[in-house]
Structure 1
């Protein structure tokens, strides 16, 4: 079985930008860029993939979800350079450096024989969901690399989630999710719609966490898809047996649950048919070019050629040979 490594690019970039103190030979902070390349090599070493797909958020990617909820992702903290680097940058200087690092990283990645996607007005979550559903890789194992818990809903017998924020990196599959949360991936978006997601500024039902979701709705652990209406029907039945302010809150916040579910669900990703075709074509029928000379030239220009890149080079050679 082939293995496809799918990387949530902005998630990885910001993690490296905030932690990696690397400085280019010109004296510019470069941890987001070169840290990404080092993390890419580490993920390749751990997963040994047959292909690599890197997915970026498109410009205005959250626009469709903000049409549902104007406060979606509002108030997110700005990711800053590591404090111990000692740079006294203004906010504008730091923003300029961040843009430079991302642009430089895209140049690095363009030398590799990988798939790379960025669609205007489309979030990476929707593209990654479309990749896992692509007919061209239906029989392949998909490994999603991201700390974003939204991807738990995509886990199945062919798809797993690897979360690098944990040490060692956490690997989540259907069985692990059921063991830890008692919620089946098919019903994860519905459960999270009740709980909410503070990182995306989506409040849930007051007083409802995963513990009470499991207590009140144990059927969500089944390998069967349930709807919000199934949830509300079960809630009414429970209230006939015993009064509960938490169950009453669920019914009082029906609109919140419906709205959160529309934003959170990835079972039907918000992406056009044409873009799905582009994804499938890249995965199955693209020309694979590996510009090793260009890659080494960039590493030399930035002062990072002395780092060991053998695993990255060997894997890229294997990808173009298939």
Structure 2
């Protein structure tokens, strides 16, 4: 029987936790809403997702190799709120005290680290579950890789059929799908006025970005 590796998109969890709870603090004024929210999400996840191995992956400080490829990558993002940045070290400490390995690779975004670990794990015979709310990971889904989003109204497990139902294209076409749409959050331009429905329609009709260009 295959063993399972659970990879937690810690950066995604941190921001979701921060925005999910109202401002909270200790008696000395240290903000705690992101800490509380993150650890609560972590405990629910570990309870709901049976796994043999687990790791929590977060973004490194500073720019990554993606900014070298495209200097305007994430250039429109405001700096991290001060009341969140002071909680980050305590969140990292909390992850380690929960007994969960913690990965932060200099110069490599958490998405890329998770993608690399997923590919290697599948090659070595593992099943992989990625815990995230980030649609970019849909490109990794296959018979051995699932996405899980245990928080909020979008509580779901996504296999290949689930990805196609949700986005209108199968996992192997997600890169083309996202290329057409672009990503305002990451400051990546796409085709003007091309949203999810239009991107899915074009991919279905023409097969790929190259097919769209040719037509």
Q: Shorter-chain TM-score: which interval? A: 0.7 to 0.9
Aligned residues: 213
Secondary structure at the counterpart of residue 54 of structure 2: strand
1:180 aligns to 2:166 (yes or no): yes
Q: Residues 211-258 of structure 1: CA distance to partner in whole angstroms, max 9, x if unpaired?
A: 33333332777xxxx6x5xx24x643x4xxxxxxxxxxxxxxxxxxxx
- The equivalent residue for 1:132 is 118
Residue 127 of structure 1: how far off its partner (Å): 0.3
Task: Tell whether the 8 Å contact from 2:176 to 2:203 is kept in structure 1 after alignment.
Answer: no
1:51 aligns to 2:61 (yes or no): no
Q: Residues 81-101 of structure 1: CA distance to partner in whole angstroms, max 9, x if unpaired?
A: xxxxxxxxxxxxxx2x43331
Unaligned runs of 5+ in 1: 81-94, 239-322
- The equivalent residue for 1:283 is none
Alignment of 1:278-317 (within 5 A): none
1:217/1:110 CA distance change after superposition, 3 Å:
closer
Task: Tell whether the 8 Å contact from 1:55 to 1:118 is kept in structure 2 after alignment.
Answer: yes
Alignment of 1:164-313 (within 5 A): 164=150, 166-218=152-204, 228=209, 231-232=210-211, 235-236=213-214, 238=215
Q: TM-score, normalised by structure 2?
A: 0.85
Residue 178 of structure 1: how far off its partner (Å): 1.3
- The equivalent residue for 1:119 is 105
Secondary structure at the counterpart of residue 197 of structure 1: coil
Cα RMSD for the two superposed structures: 2.5
Choose from 31, 39, 42 the match for 1:29. 31
1:163/1:112 CA distance change after superposition, 3 Å:
closer
Residue 79 of structure 1: how far off its partner (Å): 5.6
1:208/1:99 CA distance change after superposition, 3 Å:
closer
Work out the CA distance in 2 between the residues paired with 1:79 and 1:182: 33
1:103 aligns to 2:105 (yes or no): no
Work out the CA distance in 1 between the residues paired with 2:6 and 2:27: 31
- The equivalent residue for 2:17 is 16
1:174/1:128 CA distance change after superposition, 3 Å:
same
Q: TM-score, normalised by structure 1?
A: 0.59
Work out the CA distance in 1 between the residues paired with 2:151 and 2:58: 19
- The equivalent residue for 1:39 is 41
Task: Tell whether the 8 Å contact from 1:60 to 1:122 is kept in structure 2 after alignment.
Answer: no
Secondary structure at the counterpart of residue 125 of structure 1: helix
Pair member with larger Rg: 1
- The equivalent residue for 1:150 is 136
Residue 166 of structure 1: how far off its partner (Å): 4.0
Work out the CA distance in 1 between the residues paired with 2:198 and 2:177: 10
Work out the CA distance in 1 between the residues paired with 2:32 and 2:39: 11
Task: Tell whether the 8 Å contact from 1:160 to 1:173 is kept in structure 2 after alignment.
Answer: yes
Work out the CA distance in 1 between the residues paired with 2:186 and 2:165: 25
Secondary structure at the counterpart of residue 142 of structure 1: strand
Unaligned runs of 5+ in 2: none
Mean alpha-carbon deviation: is it higher for 154-163 or for 122-131? 154-163
